Structure 1
Amino acid sequence: MNISTEAKVGSISLIACVLLVYIIIHLSGFSFGDKGYPVQAVFRQVNGIKEGNIVRYAGVDVGRIKEVRVLPQEGVQVTMLMDPGVKIPEGSKFLIGADGLMGEKYINIIPAEHSSSYLLPNAKVKGEEIQGLDELIASSDRVLAEVHDLVKSLNEIVGDEKVKAAMKNTILNAQEITDNMNIMMGNLARMTQENGDIDTTVKNLSAMSKSLREAAARAEIMMQAVDNNGQTAKDLRETLINIKNTSSRVEKMAAALEGVVTDPTTAQDIKETLKNARMASERANKMLTKVSSIETKVGFETLYNHDTGKYSSNADLKINTSPTDFAVIGVSHIGDGSKGNFQVGKGNEEFAGRAGVIDNKVGVGVDTKIGKQMSLSLDVYDPQDVRVKLRSLYQVAPDTFIVGQSDGINKEDEQTYFGVRRNF
């Protein structure tokens, strides 16, 4: 069959028109009937959202905005047309985003985690409120206004002459307190170094406190007899040595006469003399051993209570009469309701127990060492109103410690102190 030229031209023109219509429809996005399913999101404000804007799910385009409608009671309802096959988990967040500062607005969907169900067609969700640029600027203005008021108030306070004078006096007082503490520590160290007299140190501390109880006073008197610049202890050692030597001589003389004397009465007297000389020699040996093993150590510490802003000074004297026996004499809170301490104890550096007077009250205590630098002490005292005190010491240098102390940890009025201790 022959096709005329006119028919061929008409067919080609018709095909070209069809192709042109298809290209126009494809490029414009026009469709015959909506594809996909709708989802409604309600926002308090939409900030420039328009029909035709993009909907993104985790940054991927999944649909377009079909309608923006105002709801008088709820806000603004945005109807989104999701592409077929796109599943939005229930609980996902719907926010308004923008491509850059001045770019086109779009709906951004942040998927919910661990959700096993998905939004159905025509589901209605609540959009997340975000702070727009206008609100951000308004908030910044409010913050700046508040900062301005704060700075103005600070200027009024700091600029006041009375406040300036008070701050200056506070700084000067703090400096004066520090200088006095340095002087006091220096005097104690110099006194101990020059005199070597532990008993004099205790007497001076006792004179400052004037509140040691009878037990502490007796212990101090005992120490005065033990060490007087080292002379009393030296004299006592010499006396004991003389007693020992004399007893030995008397025992030898009595032994020599025992075989010669025939009178029964005289012989009995010689036996008594031997017995007494032996007992005197044994007692002298025991006393000489005790005196030789006596060691003393003075400790002084300055503590600070952050809650009350007050300083507290404590001093103590530890007397070791043997490797396992010791006594502690001390004064706590010197000059501010001074309290006396006197305990006797038994033990070594690893673990020791004490009993006696603690802060003017009857009590007991234990001391233990943790490692090479750390030690802990626990005191329980005052049977009428039991109080518990916990102390920790950390050695930072020879004879120098950092002190932490909590007094009355079982009471509401617990007092916590931190400071420095020095042993001499």
Structure 2
Amino acid sequence: MKISNETKIGALTIIAIVLLFLGFNFLKGKSLFKSGYYLYAKFPESNGLVASNVVTINGFQAGTVSKISASKDLKEIDVEVKLNQEYEIPDNSTANISSNPLGASSLEITLGDSKTLMKSKDTLLTVMTPGLLGQVGNQIRPLAETAKNTLQHIDTVMQNINQVMDSSSKEHLQEMVANLSVVTKNLTQTTALLNKALDLQTGAFAGSIKNINSFTQNLADNNAKLDSVMNNLSVATGKLAQVDLATTLDKLNSSMEQLSGIMKKANSTDGSLGALLNDRELYNNFNRTAKSLQTLLDDLRVHPKRYVNISIFGKKDKGNYLEKPLPQDSLPADFRK
């Protein structure tokens, strides 16, 4: 039986379409024949996960997402995972959608520590962790709030500044800036003078250094004399240390005791000196004797003929005798002291 060319072309076209359909579904992770190792997971949102996305376990590409479907209310996303082979996955392992802003999302399976292994068509536990954009957003969100509050405070501060900075305040601010300029100029001049004073060649500090050097040089030159003076001082202190200071102090104490005894006797009326110093009657007698002697001397000077008579024909003066000393201004000029 001879097959026509049109039949051959039609058959080849049908075979090509079937192969194209199978290849396209294979590339998308779908299989017309439901065979292999499948797992399922349920998420509240897809986070950009689509069929044929990669499924990784500990960073290893272990399979692909074969199918994604949603419930009627779109509150649950069902994900079908086809693994390349039957891996040993604990039943407490978790699945997480990892979104990548620079590429396609992927499904990551984190292995648990259970001894019981999952079987084909079991459902994985799911967790929702924010992707890279979510983490960045979570970190930027408080910063944005802080920046917003900061801008509000800055706006309030600027308003207060505008209220305070009236024309008179601006003039005062200009005066402050001018004064600050003058202070800066004076500070520059002071710094220049200080640098000049600290100049090691011509400054006052250099002169002080020279004087110090001269003083230390003089000390070095007179070192021998200083040593001699110190030696003499050492000898003098040695001799002073050798003096029997205790004996000297004992003698001094003995002399002070003797002097104290003399003063004690002088204050007592038992001795002659004490009686002379402390007897009031003796003092009065001495005073009366001195007064009588003075009266006698005055009478002798006034009436010398009464006591010495050298006249042959004269007679003795028997006038009134003086009973008390005469005042100095009443005596003749020759008899005045």
By the TM > 0.5 criterion, same fold?
Answer: no
TM class by shorter-chain length? Answer: 0.3 to 0.5
Give the TM-score, by structure 1 length.
0.30
Give the TM-score, by structure 2 length.
0.36
Higher Rg: 2
When you count helix as a share of all residues, which structure comes out higher? 2
